[in-house]
Amino acid sequence: MADKSPLAPEKFPDLPAIDGVRLAAGACGIRYKGRTDLLLVEMAPETTAAGVFTKSKTASAPVDWCRKALKGGQAQALVVNSGNANAFTGKAGDGSVERTVAAAADVIACRPSKVFVASTGVIGEMLPDEKLTEALPKLKDALDGKSWATAAEAIMTTDTFPKAATRTVDIDGTKVTINGIAKGSGMIAPDMATMLAFVFTDAAIPAPVLQDMLNTGADKSFNSITVDSDTSTSDTLMLFATGAAGNDMFASADAPALDEFRDQLDDLLIDLAQQVVRDGEGASKFISVTVSGAENNVAAKRIALSIANSPLVKTAIAGEDANWGRIVMAVGKAGEKADRDKLSITIGGHLIAEDGLARNDYDEAPVAEHMKGQEIDILADVGIADGRATVWTCDLTHGYITINADYRS
């Protein structure tokens, strides 16, 4: 495995148990030797579910299954394997999913339509599902409420650190918890950004409300990050609510009692999404790109992603070069309205160019200092209206080439 990313958080967070959620991880040798590669999560029978999936036209068999199963709005089991994505495996891939689901439904004693599955790893190879179906019954006895770190590790592929986050929230006087785990470090772009992320809460929330909140949250988090502009066939973000906290149920995501929950959910999703960027393949710098002054927020996001995805911007940052000309180029190619003669560029809080021109008194020294740091801030105001968006990405380094020119072989 590659060295731990220099941008990794200092430590794995302490995740409390969540009433109605038990986890177990195992090693079934799908691809990796000597590490865990299978996760089983059991959830209380009344658990509601929401999901957001890749928009790829060649989505994997597990994604197809989850979309179908989600119509019921209920979940009782989640099975995740790493090492093989079960993508581009045709009808046989569907068969692998069905056998895995059947085995999990047996172990958890629930209907197959309450089992969700996700797979991540190599595309185009058959999933050796018999390894999963043999391993699942053995995981049953290992299920407990504490194994969050083990769970986050079991779903890793080229990740250099496990990713998790936790928040506590008050819903109308009832304390509830939200825990999330995620994996992803390459093939990362909207939509969806992360390959896999699973969020659990003991709050009681009806499935349509949960889906509403997840859609909004995904937009601000996983759909606002990019590593390499490539979109996986397997991207999956799911949110499960066990209801064990016993709070009152609300029929709308706009219910004021859910305000804090929504805020904290968004915050947790952004936290997880940023961890994915911090583990971007070869990343040496974490980059925030904010675009203001755009025609509207959608235009602002499109321009921000144009900057964040530009190989020339990303390599300049890798070279610690405050090459704002490349930022101008990326604003221009986004195709959204921008006033060349009102454009301003700020890096690390230092205004470099305004009204379409480099500042006369521009002092490169403090900007050069900022470029040497690990956290780079870019702000571009395009001078049209009030649209604003922030996205996050990492730089493009020799490390990315090394990892990706030699992954499969």
CB of residue 336 to its own copies, shortest distance in Å = 7
Q: Which residues are catalytic?
A: 194
Backbone angles phi, psi at 190, to 5 degrees: -60, 160
What is the residue whose two structure tokens read 């502009």?
229
CB of residue 191 to its own copies, shortest distance in Å = 10
CB of residue 299 to its own copies, shortest distance in Å = 11
CB of residue 376 to its own copies, shortest distance in Å = 14
**Residue numbers at the binding site for its own copies (CB under 8 A):** 54-59, 85, 87-92, 122-125, 186-187, 189, 228-233, 309-312, 315-316, 318-319, 321, 323-326, 328-338, 340-341, 343, 353, 355-358, 396-398, 400-402, 404-409
Q: What share of the chain is helix, strand, coil (3-state, %, to 5)?
A: 35, 25, 40
- Kindly tell me which of 76 and 344 has the beta carbon lying closer to its own copies: 344
Burial label, 111 (beta-carbon count in 10 A; 0-12, 13-18, 19+): middle
Q: Which residues, listed in sequence order, are joined to residue 83 by a DSSP beta bridge?
A: 121
CB of residue 206 to its own copies, shortest distance in Å = 32
Amino acid at site 306: S
Check if the beta carbon of residue 210 is closer than 8 Å to that of residue 48.
Answer: yes
- Kindly tell me which of 17 and 122 has the beta carbon lying closer to its own copies: 122
Amino acid at site 338: A
CA angle 72, 216, 314 (to 5 degrees): 120
Measure the CA–CA gap between 241 and 205, rounded to whole angstroms. Answer: 6
What are 88's two structure tokens? 């581009």
Residues in the chain: 409
Residue-wise DSSP of 18-73: -TTEEEEEE---SS-SSS--EEEEEE-TT-EEEEEE---TT--HHHHHHHHHGGG-
Check if the beta carbon of residue 41 is closer than 8 Å to that of residue 49.
Answer: no
Nearest CA to 307 out of 377, 249, 220, 362 is that of 377
- Kindly tell me which of 203 and 322 has the beta carbon lying closer to its own copies: 322
- Kindly tell me which of 249 and 368 has the beta carbon lying closer to its own copies: 368
- Kindly tell me which of 57 and 71 has the beta carbon lying closer to its own copies: 57
CB of residue 104 to its own copies, shortest distance in Å = 24
Collect all residues with Cβ–Cβ distance below 8 Å to 157 and sequence separation of at least 6.
Answer: 82, 83, 120, 121, 183, 185, 195
- Kindly tell me which of 46 and 125 has the beta carbon lying closer to its own copies: 125
